[in-house]
Each structure stands twice: as C-alpha cells, then as structure tokens.
Amino acid sequence: MKHNTDLDGFQKIIQYQFNNIGLLKNALTHSSYANEKKTGNYKDNERLEYLGDAVLELTVSNYLFNLKPALSEGEMTKIRAQLVCEPSLESYARNLNLGKLMLLGRGEENSGGRERPTVLADAFEAFIGAMYLDLGMDTVYSFVHTIIHKAYQKGEVTQVFDYKSTLQELVQADSKKAIEYRIVSETGPAHNRSFEAIVLLDGITLGRGIGKTKKEAEQQAAKGAIEILAKSCEKK
C-alpha cells in the first residue's frame, strides 16, 4: 500500500491527478519486477515507453516550432535531439524523483537500477505515454512544455547558435581588430553559479552576457555584440 501512498503524493507534486491510477503504476513498473510477479497482474512499462517516445517527440517539436524568433528546420532538429536524448530524459526523471517510485525486481534493485540512467530515461517516456492515454495531449503539452522551458532557463540545453564564431566572422574582414572575452563576475552558491562575461573589440566593451557557465556567458556576450553591430550597420 505504500506505493499507492507514494503515488498520491507524487500526483499532488506534479499537480495532475490520474483517472486511471493503473496506467501510472504500469509506467513505473520495470520488466524485472513484472517478471518476478508472474502470478500477479503486473505489466512492465515497455509498451508505454514506446508510446511516450513518439508523444514526446511530437510535443517537443511543437514547442520548438512555436518559439520566437522562429528557428530553422536544422536548428529545431538539433535542439530536439538534445531535449529528448537519454541524459536529458534521465534529468527530467530525477527532477520528478521517478526512481524512488519505480517497482524493480530484487536483482535490478540490488544492482543499482533505481539510479540507472537507462531505467530512469525509459520510465520518463513511459510516464509521458501514460499521461497521454489518461489525460490527453493537451495535458501532455502543458506538462512537457513546462519541463523543457525550465531546461532552457537553467542552461541545460547546449547553445545551438555559435555566436562567438559568428562575431569572429563579422570582424575578420579587418584582421587588425582583436576580440577578447573576460569573465567579470561570479555570483551565487557553488551549486548554482552565475557568470557575467564581456567581449571587447580593440579593448572596447561591445557586449555583455550572463550564463550558468562561463561558456554560456561568453556566448551571450557575443550575441549582444552582434546585435550592437547589426544596429550600427542599419544606421549607415
């Protein structure tokens, strides 16, 4: 009965209530557990994982298609690949504490299955599949969009646009101009640092940027510099 209690608490946390709690249980049932409980009415989550994979791809594609400014097909493909790759799915599952809710066989449990990346990633896909069947696509859209938007905000998605290279290309016509990046400040606790970078062109600050990593901050600084250069060109 403890598992049922855990699922009640989980639904309160995610703020979605399943109509068919059996689907949620199914999504969190590993094949090792189902194989051990052959006499019971336990199904593993592999079919739901298959469905969830397709639903997730469509949902993420929809999110990226509606981003502003509009992304090209190639850019959307690159970002989607990052958002639905195993490390990302594992991260989403950990944020939801799905590992603690999983039903695992004794062998899988003893070998660290509750923390295994593939188990967690598969469970997240199965969970999305169960949510789709029970609550519908609109609910899935809302839930998944919130998750991937947070991933964007936290800088968990690798920068697709290489602004530093673009800036270099813009100024390379004049080989005498030197581009330099500096990290000018670091704030926040060790587990949640924020970096501020500037980019200088011939010693003059041209752009500033903030990011969760030094590389991200530099990319944002380069983006700011490109925007300034573009505006100056428009005035000419």
94 and 194 part of one domain: no
CB 75 within 8 A of CB 160: yes
Is 9 contained in some domain?
A: yes
Percentage, residues of the chain above pLDDT 90: 47
Catalytic residue among 90, 125, 134, 218: 125
Q: How confident is the model at residue 1 (pLDDT cuts 50, 70, 90)?
A: very low
Q: Is 36 an annotated catalytic residue?
A: no
Q: In terms of DSSP H, where are the helices of 136-162?
A: 137-153
Domain range holding 115?
Answer: 2-153
The per-residue pLDDT for range 184-220, each reduced to its tens digit, is 999 988 777 899 999 998 889 999 999 888 888 898 8
CA distance 45 to 117: 16
Query: CA dihedral defined by 12, 18, 56, 150, rounded to 10 degrees?
Result: -10
175 and 140 part of one domain: no
Mean pLDDT on 165-170: 79
The per-residue pLDDT for range 125-135, each reduced to its tens digit, is 999 999 999 99
187: CATH: 3.30.160.20
**Residue 35 backbone class (left: φ over 0; alpha: ψ -120 to 50; beta: rest):** alpha
Is 99 contained in some domain?
A: yes
Is 70 contained in some domain?
A: yes
Catalytic residue among 53, 57, 75, 109: 53
Q: Could you identify the residue written with the tokens 């903030």?
A: 210
104 and 146 part of one domain: yes
125 and 55 part of one domain: yes
Residue 156: per-residue pLDDT:
61
- Beta-bridged to residue 201, according to DSSP, are 179, 204
Among residues 153, 188, 208, which one ends one of the domains? Answer: 153
Among residues 153, 177, 193, which one ends one of the domains? Answer: 153
Q: How many domains does the chain have?
A: 2
The per-residue pLDDT for range 36-85, each reduced to its tens digit, is 887 567 789 999 999 999 999 999 999 889 876 778 888 788 788 888 88
13: CATH: 1.10.1520.10
Q: Is 180 an annotated catalytic residue?
A: no
